[in-house]
């Protein structure tokens, strides 16, 4: 049975009988973890293994948002706390070479943590460009106001994760930095011309070879006055696939976010029709997951081939092996003025 182009979350630290039966029947292509799912290394390893077993796919992508700073699903005291991207970007103002090394080492340390638990895709880094009015929903999750710095540090970060077989992602396509609202709660409207948006697109163009990309729930009236990026065929075809040149797999931002007003199953279908490859649903609400699974069919042959091509195993080694690197990162971060 072919998998469906859906990523689902689960409610706790282990699967409930209802979740087990549902996922077995629904056949999502991957799963996403949150803080509610990660209690210890051994428990997370067991959960990840059970998720892969349930869909009979040892290479199934297990996703997480482990950016650093305030966006950490695996948190202290069990896991090491990575610095925020904005702090790394601050170092770039005085020592670009040191910032590149810090970004690379941070990516490696995060990759080691994730790989130890079997998580093979990190929805990071945030490649949004910072503006004076950037909403706190992004804030220090983004590296810098200079798109060239964003691109350079983003590349260093993803190269570090790749040392442990963890794939990175470009987000939030086609750029969340100008938004003055939180798309978790409302639909931001970005009133910028296409020429102005060249600044926002630059980091995504520089990293357009990454295998995963997240499309954001943002309205760009200059590009499409009616549909947010997630459900806009014009934005996906002309901007993300065209101007950015992105050929990887496009995943929706969480389809249950309040920026989208339609029922989740309707938004899911519209996103796929617009050109997103995979729908991501995060909150583990069975009342939402069931209609999504009912509304979406199996991957077609072309998508299944692309999905098969990019899947990779992560390197599962004890994080203790790089404890010295984590200590070095902490010391360098503490020294940033």
Catalytic residue among 122, 128, 140, 253: 253
- Token pair, residue 57, equals 């796919």
Asked if 184 is an active-site residue, the reply is yes
- Token pair, residue 128, equals 């949004």
Q: Are 122 and 167 in contact (CB under 8 A)?
A: yes
H or E segment to which residue 100 belongs: helix 96-117
- Rounded Cα gap, residues 91 and 135, in angstroms: 22
CB atoms within 10 A of CB 308: 10
- Rounded Cα gap, residues 170 and 210, in angstroms: 7
H or E segment to which residue 324 belongs: helix 323-334
Strand order in the sheet with 249-252: 169-173, 212-215, 249-252
Catalytic residue among 56, 184, 285, 294: 184
- Token pair, residue 77, equals 């005291």
Residues with catalytic function: 184, 253
């Amino acid at each position: 049975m072919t998998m469906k182009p859906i990523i689902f979350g689960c409610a706790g630290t282990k699967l409930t009988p209802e979740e087990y039966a549902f996922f077995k029947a629904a056949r999502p292509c991957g799963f996403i973890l949150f803080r509610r799912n990660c209690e210890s290394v051994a428990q997370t390893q067991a959960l990840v293994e059970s998720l892969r077993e349930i869909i009979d796919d040892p290479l199934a992508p297990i996703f997480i948002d482990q950016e650093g700073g305030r966006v950490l699903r695996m948190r202290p005291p069990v896991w090491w706390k990575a610095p925020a991207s904005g702090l790394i970007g601050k170092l770039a103002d005085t020592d670009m070479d040191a910032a590149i090394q810090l970004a690379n080492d941070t990516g490696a340390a995060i990759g080691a943590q994730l790989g130890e638990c079997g998580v093979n895709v990190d929805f990071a880094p945030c490649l949004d460009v910072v503006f004076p009015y950037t909403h706190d929903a992004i804030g220090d999750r983004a590296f810098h106001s200079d798109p060239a710095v964003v691109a350079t540090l983003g590349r260093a970060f993803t190269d570090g994760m790749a040392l442990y077989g963890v794939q990175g992602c470009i987000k939030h396509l086609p750029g969340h930095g100008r938004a003055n609202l939180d798309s978790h709660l409302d639909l931001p409207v970005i009133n910028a011309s296409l020429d102005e948006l060249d600044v926002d697109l630059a980091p995504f163009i520089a990293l357009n070879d990454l295998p995963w990309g997240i499309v954001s729930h943002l309205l760009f009236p200059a590009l499409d006055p009616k549909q947010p990026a997630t459900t806009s065929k014009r934005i996906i075809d002309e901007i993300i696939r065209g101007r950015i040149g992105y050929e990887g797999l496009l995943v929706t931002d969480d389809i249950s976010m309040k920026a989208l007003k339609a029922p989740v199953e309707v938004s899911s279908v519209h996103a796929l029709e617009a050109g997103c490859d995979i729908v991501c649903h995060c909150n583990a609400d069975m009342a939402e997951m069931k209609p999504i699974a009912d509304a979406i069919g199996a991957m077609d042959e072309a998508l299944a081939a692309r999905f098969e091509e990019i899947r990779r195993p992560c390197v599962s080694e004890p994080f203790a092996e790089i404890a010295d690197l984590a200590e070095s990162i902490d010391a360098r971060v503490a020294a940033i003025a």
